[in-house]
Amino acid sequence: MKKPAVHFPTVATIAHEGPGSANPLAFRHYNPAEVIDGRTMKEHLRFSIAYWHAFRGTGSDPFGPGTICRPWESGKDPVSVAKVRMDAAFEFFQKIQAPFWCFHDRDIAPEGRTLAESNKNLDQIVAHAKTLQKATGVKLLWGTANLFSNPRYMCGASTNPDAHVFAYAAAQVKKALEVTQELGGENYVFWGGREGYETLLNTNLKREQEHLAAFMHLAVNYARSIGFKGQFLIEPKPKEPTKHQYDFDVASGVAFLRTFGLEKHFKFNIETNHATLAGHTFEHEIEVAAAQGMLGSIDANTGDLLLGWDTDQFNTNVKELTLAMVSILRAGGLGSGGFNFDAKLRRPSIDPEDLFHAHIGGMDAYALAFKLARRILAEGKFEQFVADRYASFDTGFGRDIETGKATFKSLEKLVLTKLGEPTPRSGKQEYLENLLNTYLHG
C-alpha cells in the first residue's frame, strides 16, 4: 500500500518536555497526558484548531496579498486540493496534540456556482473529514457557516434587506447544521460579521433585529428536528466588518436573546480580541456570561494594544489568561465548549514550523494559566477577600436587602435611628495586585 504523504516532514509530534526545556518545538506547560483531578489536561483544556486561520490563512492584509505558500495548495481541481489540505490539517492536529478542530462550511470545501454544487462539494469533503476524524480521534468542537465573505452577503445574511438573501442564508445554515451533526460537532456557532449596519439612512434597525431573531429560531427548530444535541453559541463582536454589529458584546447578546425568547437555546463563545474591541477585558466578558449561566466556549486569541482591529494574534499573556481562567474555573468550566485558537500567523511568518511555534505558545500559556488559576482558587485568598468585602449582606439588614425583605422606609429608619454614617473600607487593589504577582512570579 502507498504510504500516506507527510506534509510536515521536519516536525515530529510535539512532546511535553517541562519548563526546563530549551527545545522550541516542545511543550513546557501543556502536558496532554497529565492527570489533574481525575481528568487529563487534554480533557480539561479541550484545545481546538481554527481551520480558517491555520489552513486557509494566506497572510494577506488590506494592503497586500498572501505571503504564505503551502505545498499542498497547488493541484488539479479545487475539491482534490481541499482533500489534500485536509490531510495536512489532520496531520497538524495530531502533531500539535489538539483534540478538536472548528470550521466554516466554505473553509473546508470550495463554493460552487450554485447552492446545489456547493452542497455537493461539501458532501465530498465532509465524507473525507469523517474518515480522518475516525482515523485520528480528533473531534469537531463546532461548525459554522460563512455568511460574510460571498458578495451576496454584503448587506448582511439574515439581516439583509432582501428576503431572497435571507432565504439563501437559511438554506446554507440548514446544510451547515447537517454537516456539523454528521461530524459529531459538539456546538454550533453564530458569529454575525455582517449582521449589523453602516448607516441608518438605508437601514430599518428594528426589522433587522427581528429578522436575526427569526433566523435563530428557525435554526434552533431545524437543528432539533434533525436530532442535533449540540450547544448553540453566539460569538459577540462590536464591529468589523460592519460599523454597528447587533451582537455587540455579551451583555447586549443576553438582552437580545431574552427579548426574543432564545435564551434557553444559546450560550456565548467569547473571543478575547472581540472583548477588547468592545472596550472590555477578556475576563469581564467571561464573568458577564458566567453570571447568566451562559458561558459556552472561548475563541482564544488577542489583539494588539496599538491597533484598533481584530488582529487575531496568539495570546501568550499569562497574566491576562490567568485572570480569565480564574473566572472560567470558578464558573465550573466550559462544558461542551473548549479553547479554539481563532488566531493567525503574522504576515512574515511563512514557515510551516511557525504554525507549530504559534500554537505551542498559545497552548503553553493557557496550560500555565490553568495551573496558576487552580492554585489561586485552591488557596482561596482572593475569594476570601471578596467574601469578606460583601459580608455585611450575609446577616441582618444586608440579608434583608438580598432577600427582598427590606424597604426604603425600613432602611431609612435604620440609618436615622441606628446606623448613621458608614465607615469607609479600603478596596486594597494594590495589595491584591501584588498578591497576584506572587502567583505569577513568586
Question: Which CB, 31 or 273, lies closer to Ni ion?
Answer: 273
> Which residue from 310, 313, 369, 439 is in contact with Ni ion, where contact means CB under 5 A?
310
How near is the Cβ of 271 to Ni ion at its closest, in Å?
Answer: 4
How near is the Cβ of 153 to ligand XLS at its closest, in Å?
Answer: 12
Can residue 285 be called a binding residue for ligand XLS (CB under 6 A)? no
Output phi, psi for 299, to 5 deg: -95, 105
- What single string gives the DSSP state of each residue in 252-314? HHHHHHHHTT-TTTEEEEEEHHHHHHTT--HHHHHHHHHHTT-EEEEE--B--TT--S---BP
Can residue 364 be called a binding residue for Ni ion (CB under 5 A)? no
Query: What does the alpha-carbon distance between residue 173 and residue 147 come to, in Å, rounded to a whole number?
Result: 9
How near is the Cβ of 42 to ligand XLS at its closest, in Å?
Answer: 22
How near is the Cβ of 38 to Ni ion at its closest, in Å?
Answer: 31
> Which residue from 310, 338, 367, 371 is in contact with ligand XLS, where contact means CB under 6 A?
310
Give the number of other CB atoms < 10 A from CB of residue 295: 26
Give the cell for residue 371.
495551573
Give the cell for residue 397.
439588614
* Long-range contacts formed by 208-213: CB under 8 A, 24+ apart: 208/156, 208/159, 208/161, 208/246, 209/159, 209/246, 209/256, 210/260, 211/158, 211/159, 211/166, 212/158, 212/159, 212/246, 212/256, 213/256, 213/259, 213/260, 213/262
Can residue 247 be called a binding residue for Ni ion (CB under 5 A)? no
Footprint of ligand XLS on residues 95-114 (CB under 6 A)? 104
**SS3 of 15, please?**
strand
Count the residues of the shown chain that bind Ni ion, applying the rule CB under 5 A. Answer: 4
Residues 251-290: x where in contact with Ni ion by CB under 5 A, - otherwise, as a string: --------------------x-------------------
How near is the Cβ of 142 to ligand XLS at its closest, in Å?
Answer: 9
Q: What burial class does residue 222 get, using C-beta atoms within 10 Å of its C-beta: 0-12 exposed, 13-18 middle, 19+ buried?
A: middle
Say which DSSP state 338 is in: -
Question: Which CB, 57 or 99, lies closer to ligand XLS?
Answer: 57
Query: What does the alpha-carbon distance between residue 97 and residue 286 come to, in Å, rounded to a whole number?
Result: 26
Can residue 144 be called a binding residue for ligand XLS (CB under 6 A)? yes
Q: Rg for the chain (alpha carbons), in Å?
A: 24
Residues carrying an active site annotation:
104, 107
Query: What does the alpha-carbon distance between residue 209 and residue 218 come to, in Å, rounded to a whole number?
Result: 14
Question: Which CB, 84 or 278, lies closer to Ni ion?
Answer: 278
Crossing angle for the helix pair 429-441 and 352-379, nearest 10 degrees? 120
Can residue 247 be called a binding residue for ligand XLS (CB under 6 A)? no
How near is the Cβ of 144 to ligand XLS at its closest, in Å?
Answer: 5
> Which residue from 195, 208, 249, 271 is in contact with ligand XLS, where contact means CB under 6 A?
271
Question: Which CB, 119 or 340, lies closer to ligand XLS?
Answer: 340
- The CA distances from residue 20 to 16, 53, 196, 362, 367, in Å, are 11, 30, 49, 18, 15
> Which residue has the closest beta carbon to ligand XLS?
191
Can residue 249 be called a binding residue for Ni ion (CB under 5 A)? no
Can residue 299 be called a binding residue for ligand XLS (CB under 6 A)? yes
Question: Which CB, 30 or 191, lies closer to ligand XLS?
Answer: 191
How near is the Cβ of 127 to ligand XLS at its closest, in Å?
Answer: 23
* Residues pairing with 335 in the sheet: none
Sign of CA dihedral 318, 320, 323, 329: negative
Can residue 342 be called a binding residue for ligand XLS (CB under 6 A)? yes
Can residue 197 be called a binding residue for ligand XLS (CB under 6 A)? no
Q: Per CB under 5 A, which region of 83-91, 342-350, 391-399, 400-408 contacts Ni ion?
A: 342-350
Query: What does the alpha-carbon distance between residue 301 and residue 272 come to, in Å, rounded to a whole number?
Result: 6
Question: Which CB, 13 or 60, lies closer to Ni ion?
Answer: 60
Query: What does the alpha-carbon distance between residue 402 and residue 171 come to, in Å, rounded to a whole number?
Result: 48
How near is the Cβ of 109 to ligand XLS at its closest, in Å?
Answer: 16
- The CA distances from residue 151 to 62, 163, 165, 370, 389, in Å, are 17, 16, 11, 41, 54
Can residue 235 be called a binding residue for ligand XLS (CB under 6 A)? yes
Answer yes or no: are the C-beta atoms of 272 and 299 closer than 8 Å. Answer: yes
Can residue 299 be called a binding residue for Ni ion (CB under 5 A)? yes
Q: Which does 165 bind (CB under 5 to 8 A by kind): ligand XLS, Ni ion, none?
A: none
Binding residues (CB under 6 A) for ligand XLS: these are: 104, 144, 189, 191, 235, 237, 271, 299, 310, 342
Binding residues (CB under 5 A) for Ni ion: these are: 271, 299, 310, 342
